[in-house]
Amino acid sequence: MKINLPAAIILAAASIIAGCASYQPAPRAFHEATIQPYRLDAGDRLRITVFEQDGLTGTYGVDQAGYISFPLVGAVAARGYTAQELEGVIAGELQKGYLRDPDVSIEIDQYRSFFVLGEVGQPGQYTYVPGMTVQNAIAIAGGFSTRAQQNSTDITRKINGKIMTGRVSISSPILAGDTIYIRERLF
């Protein structure tokens, strides 16, 4: 069978371009998530203070099911709440026969990790710090490899319970829990 070389090159180039064209930029909700209040999820560690109640004050982790185990009241759902919303939930639970007027304060002691995969020096799991960009995450992961596509990246993010993936620039902000994938350049 004789193969027409120019036709084969055009066909290969068309399939590469089609593959790139089928991947859409991140949807609007993807970018809006970066300016919304921080929502708690599995892997976050919280510093909860109940004023004048040293036995209740401490550090609590959000488990895989999205709950914290809090003294006196047991399992409290934390997934999807802001820290301020969870303060109200815990105060409400403590008022049910435990404390008269509890004053609860929550701060995030440690955010859940983010992940960097693909063409970086050290792919892996890293500690999130508020305000990070894709470029910061790449630097933490050892920088770009020699084969890395350096002007954009793919991020997989959980938004309102749905997993979304979008292509963003390296100056884009990231969120705790994001998975960042650095693609290999074609040429």
We report the CATH number of the domain holding residue 53 as: 3.30.1950.10
State residue 184 phi and psi, 5-degree precision: -85, 135
* Residue 23 in domain: no
* Residue 103 sits in the same domain as residue 115: no
* Residue 183 sits in the same domain as residue 127: yes
* Residue 106 sits in the same domain as residue 124: no
Instruction: Return the exposure string of 101-131: e unless at least 16 CB atoms fall within 10 Å of the residue's CB, then b.
Output: ebebebebebbbebbbebbbeebeebebeee
Q: Where a domain ends, among 110, 131, 152?
A: 110
* pTM of the full structure: 0.80
Locate tokens 């792919």: which residue?
123
Cα→Cα distances 127→116, 132, 183, Å:
11, 11, 22
* Residue 118 sits in the same domain as residue 104: no
Q: What is the residue-wise DSSP string for 45-68?
A: EEEEEETT-TTT-EEEE--TTSEE
Identify the pLDDT of residue 62: 97
- Do the Cβ atoms of 114 and 177 come closer than 8 Å? yes
* Residue 104 sits in the same domain as residue 147: no
Identify the pLDDT of residue 136: 97
Nearest CA-CA partner of 123 in 142, 96, 104: 142
State residue 5 phi and psi, 5-degree precision: -60, -50
Identify the pLDDT of residue 26: 74
User: Average pLDDT by consecutive 10-residue portion of the chain (187 residues)?
Assistant: 50 46 67 90 96 94 96 95 97 92 96 96 96 96 94 91 90 95 89
Identify the pLDDT of residue 11: 46
Extract the tokens encoding 131: 């305000």
- Do the Cβ atoms of 20 and 184 come closer than 8 Å? no
